[in-house]
Amino acid sequence: MIAIINVIVMIVAGALMSIFYLMSVRPAAMEQKIGERAYKRAATYRMIGGGICMFVVMANYVIYYFYPLPISLPRFFPWPHWISAIIAALIGIPGTALMIISARATGEEAMVPKKEHIMYEGIYRKIRHPMAVGELPLWFAMAFAAHSPFLLIFSLVWIPVWYSWCIAEEKDLLIRYGESYAEYCRQVPRFIPRRQKKA
């Protein structure tokens, strides 16, 4: 019973996370409808989606390790748990590092969208969405840490979710910054940095 409740909560919290975070990356579009309070509302949406709901889903991943669904899928991977732990570290450490670097470059804007915020520097001169590139793989790292084939498969759902957030954010930044952001998009790739040309 706990296993079923946990997965239901994970799905509901994941859906709410997806919706609220998606709304949080659209402050400029909201501003056209409700004025400058849109930025404060976007910050609230981000706290709910990227804070509370995301934390709940992460907790569900941990609980699943102890209370897996009684399904035909194997509970664990066919190799020893320590191998999964190494894979989790190989995914999780670079992802976490990239998130930290991205958070330093964005400052408060990571959680509190601000109209007057300047366009990003640092890592954002290499790729447009370093936070997403660092954060998304962490779900797969958690699945390996839990040694769970089910969680690894479930984590695939986050790929289109994160992608949709990035696309929605770009559309909003075009409203916010106009041609300067369009030019930035032409110069900086979305997810994978370009190889530096040799002189």
Q: What is the pLDDT of residue 172?
A: 93
Tokens of 40: 């404060």
Whole-number pLDDT of residue 135:
95
Mean pLDDT, the chain, integer: 92
**In-domain check, residue 132:** yes
Query: 117 in a domain, yes or no?
Result: yes
- Give the other-Cβ count within 10 Å of 199's Cβ: 3
Flag whether pLDDT at 91 surpasses 90. yes
What's the distance, CA 73 to chain centroid? Answer: 27
Residue 182 maps to a domain: yes
Digit-coded pLDDT (tens) for 7-63? 999 999 999 999 999 999 999 999 999 998 999 999 999 999 989 999 999 999 999
Could you tell me the sign of the dihedral formed by the alpha carbons of 9, 14, 15, 17, in that order?
positive
For residue 153, the model assigns a pLDDT of 97
CA distance 159 to 3: 24
Question: Does residue 198 sit within a domain?
Answer: no
Query: Would you state the pLDDT for residue 103?
Result: 87
| Average pLDDT of span 170-184 | 91
Q: What is the pLDDT of residue 196?
A: 66
* pLDDT value at residue 112: 74
Q: Which domain holds residue 121?
A: 2-187
Structural domain contains residue 90: yes
Q: Is residue 12 part of a domain?
A: yes
**What CATH number is associated with residue 136?**
1.20.120.1630
Does a structural domain hold residue 195? no
Outline where the chain has alpha helix (H): 2-24, 27-34, 37-46, 54-66, 81-106, 130-145, 149-155, 158-177, 179-187
Closest among 49, 78, 197 to 147, alpha carbons compared: 78
Q: Tell me how many domains the chain contains.
A: 1
> What tens digit of pLDDT does each residue of 103-137 get?
888 877 767 777 776 666 789 999 999 999 999 99
Residue 6 domain-assigned (yes or no): yes
